[in-house]
Amino acid sequence: MGYTYAESFLKSHILTKDDFFILEKHSSTRDKLIKNGFKNVFGEPDAFLAKGDIVIIAVKPQDWKSLALEIKPFIEQDQLFVSIMAGVELATIQQTLGVRKVIRAMPNLPAQIGVGMTTYTSADEVTRGELMFAQNMLGSTGQAMYIKEERMIDASTAISGSGPAYVFYFMKSMIDGALSLGFSQSEAEQLVKQTFRGSVQLQSRSDQSMEDWIAKVASKGGTTEAALNSFGASVETDIKKGLKAAFDRAVELSSQ
C-alpha cells in the first residue's frame, strides 16, 4: 500500500521521485524502487528521516513496535505522521514516537488502481492546512473521507476496508452458480464481472435508492423476485452479522 501511495502522488503531480525518502527493509523491494527511479531509498533508518515534512507509516501492525524503536531517534516532533496501519490508535503512535501530529487512515485495495475509498481521522494538533493537504494526498488514490471520531475508523474498516473481499465472495458464489447451470468458466466470469461493473456504474449515475433499483429489476412474479424470495431475511442478516464481526475484530486489534 505504501508503493500504491507513492505511485498516486507521482501521477497526481503532488511529488516527484526526488521528493521521496524511502525506508524499505527488503532488499528485493529496494532494488525495484531504485530500478523505477527512486533515488533516496534506504535499508536502515538514519538522519534522512528528519528531512521529510510528512512521514507515512505503511507497515503491518505487528511490525509497528519494532519499527517505532528504530525510527524514534531520527524523527522530529514537528513532522506530520500519516499511518495506514490497521488497529493502531492515534494515541499509541503519539506516545510511542513522542510526537503530536498524527493522521490515521484506512485505505482499501481498489486504491491500487485509483478507485479506492479511504477514511481518515487526526489528532487535535494537526492543523487545518495539514488536513487539507492530507485530503488531497489520500484522495489521489480515489476518494477520501474525514471522520471526526476515531472509533469510526474501526467501523469503516469493517465496511470499506474489508468490503472488497465481501464483493469478491459474492462474485465467486455467482460464478460457481453459473457453472452449475452449465456455463463454462470464461462465460461465467464474463457474465458476473460485467453484471457487477454495469450495476455499479448505473447506480452511481443516479440518486435513486437501492430499493428503487431493486424494484426496477424485480418485476412482480418474475425471475428476480423468485431469487430474492429464496434469499429471504437470512442473507441480509448474515451480511450484517459479518460486518459486526469485522468491526468487533478491528476494535479488538485496536485495544491490543
Domain map of the chain by residue range?
Answer: 2-156, 163-255
Q: Find the DSSP H helices in 36-142.
A: 64-71, 90-97, 128-139
Fold that domain 2-156 belongs to in CATH: Rossmann fold (3.40.50)
DSSP, residue by residue, 184-217: -HHHHHHHHHHHHHHHHHHHHT----HHHHHHHH
- Please provide the size of the chain in residues: 256
81/57 Cα distance (integer angstroms):
7
Assess contact for 84 and 3: CB atoms under 8 A.
Answer: no
pLDDT at residue 117, as a whole number: 96
71/12 Cα distance (integer angstroms):
28
Assess contact for 94 and 102: CB atoms under 8 A.
Answer: yes
What is the helix (H) or strand (E) element at residue 144, kind and residue range? strand 142-146
Q: What is the dihedral of CA 186, 167, 63, 51, to 10 degrees?
A: 90
Centroid of chain to Cα 215: 32
> Which residues of the chain fall below pLDDT 70?
none
pLDDT at residue 3, as a whole number: 86
CB atoms within 10 A of CB 101: 20
pLDDT at residue 199, as a whole number: 96
pLDDT at residue 173, as a whole number: 96
Q: Find the DSSP H helices in 36-127.
A: 64-71, 90-97
75/70 Cα distance (integer angstroms):
10
Instruction: Give domain 163-255's CATH number out of 1.10.3730.10, 3.30.160.270, 2.40.50.840, 3.40.50.80.
Output: 1.10.3730.10
pLDDT at residue 253, as a whole number: 78
Assess contact for 3 and 107: CB atoms under 8 A.
Answer: no
pLDDT at residue 255, as a whole number: 73
Instruction: Name which of 39, 45, 49 is nearest 17 in CA terms.
Output: 39
HEC assignment per residue over 3-27: HHHHHHHHHCCCCCHHHCCEECCCH
